[in-house]
Amino acid sequence: MQQLVSVTLSALLAAGLYATMAYGLAVIYGVMRIINLAHAGFMMLGAYVTFTLFSRFSLDPFIGLVVVGPLFFFFGVVLYRAVGKSMARSGATPSIESLLLLFGVWLVLQNLAYVIWTGDTQSILTSYTMKSIEIFGVHVGVPSVFVFLASAASLIFLNVLLKRTYLGKAIRAVTQNRDAALLSGVDADRISATAFGLGTAFAGIAGGMLSTLMAFTPDFGRSFLLKAFCIIVLGGMESVTGVALGALVLAVLENVLGAYTPVPTSLQDAVSFALLFVALVAFPQGLPALFARFERKAIR
């Protein structure tokens, strides 16, 4: 029983972070039909910027996120203005050229981090890094709780943004039915720039949060990128609630495998990468489409 509570709790806490990390990828995909490999680079950069704010200006990493978010939004818009034009295609499936282009951006970001922060492993040690609190009789690290709260806060913020503002509504419209939205006169360029900014901001925030949980190097981010892919593939590449669902599925699976099976921790990443492969092949339209198919079968 104790273990079940513990597994459920840690899965839930991880799911918050995973959703933040995956949402950044999903919003860019939804609006521009681009698979943003630079996402990994921005997560890594988010970790380093949070680290610098912490070590140079003694800014608490979670307060630092308030700086990281807008800063990375700006980075995203700048990147879109620099290379976005060549990526704006109308096709239904993303182009391999844009994928490779953003792959190049990722490499450049990695090298940038090497130059600024060297290749040494860095980590953030706050007064609460080693502390834990008790929830339902289970000990949970304080940083994981903070990460969950921060994720929840950013996702709620995002939801309000998408539901209440004009740009947010436009982003949702373009994501759900691109052609119809573009025909009805939304400014594709501005929407795309905003989406790119939002996606990058979420990458930075996710990276900042990750930096409070684990050590990082400029190479950091690739495994989380793959997890984020796994999530948006599971959740369907377009829907926001789907992303949360996918994050939960991945987090539960990882924690259950870790707790109840003899799969060693060193192989846990391999499990999620393999899951990515299986998910891509088995449900190309994601879990929501799968559910929809079952519903239709049941009706027929």
Partner 1 sequence: MKAFKASLWAASAIFVLAAPRFLDRGTLNDLWNLAFAVILASAWNLLGGFAGQVSLGYSVFLGIGAYTTVLLSLRGVDPFLTLPLGAILAAAFSFVIGLPAFRLRGPYFTIATIGVAEAVRVCASSVSFTGGSSGLRMPAGSFDFNLNYFSMVVLAILVVALAAYIKRSAFGRALAAIKQDIDAAEALGVNSTRFKLAAHALSAAVVALAGSLYAINFQYIAPGSVFDFRLSLSIVLMPILGGVGTVIGPVLGAIIFSTLQIKLLSIPALRDSFLFIYGGLLILVMLYEPHGLVGVGRRLAALAASAFGTNRRIPDAG
Which ranges constitute the DSSP H helices of the chain? Answer: 2-32, 38-57, 61-87, 96-117, 142-164, 166-176, 178-183, 188-211, 222-234, 240-260, 268-282, 286-299
Q: Minimal distance in Å, beta carbon 234 to partner 1? A: 13
Structure tokens at 46: 């988010």
What whole-number distance in Å separates Cα of residue 113 and Cα of residue 48? 8
Q: Are 189 and 81 in contact (CB under 8 A)?
A: no
Interface mask toward partner 1 for 100-119; x: CB under 8 A: xx-xxxxxxxxxx-xx----
Interface mask toward partner 1 for 57-96; x: CB under 8 A: --------------------------x--x------xxxx
Q: Minimal distance in Å, beta carbon 33 to partner 1? A: 9
# residues near partner 1 by CB under 8 A = 42
Complex with partner 1: residue 162 or 225, whichever CB lies closer? 225
Q: Does 228 bind partner 1 (CB under 8 A)?
A: no
Complex with partner 1: residue 146 or 216, whichever CB lies closer? 216
CA proximity to 211, closest of 66, 56, 39, 17: 17
Q: What is the number of other CB atoms lying within 10 angstroms of the CB of residue 210?
A: 22
Residue whose tokens read 């790119």: 196
Complex with partner 1: residue 70 or 104, whichever CB lies closer? 104
- Which of the ranges 5-13, 136-144, 189-197, 267-275 carries the binding residues for partner 1, by CB under 8 A? 267-275
| Angle formed at CA 278 by CA 159 and CA 87, multiple of 5 degrees | 55
Q: Does 35 bind partner 1 (CB under 8 A)?
A: yes
Q: Are 283 and 234 in contact (CB under 8 A)?
A: yes
Residues that bind partner 1 (CB under 8 A): 35, 83, 86, 93-101, 103-112, 114-115, 222-223, 226, 229-230, 233, 264, 266-267, 269-270, 273-274, 276-277, 280-281, 284
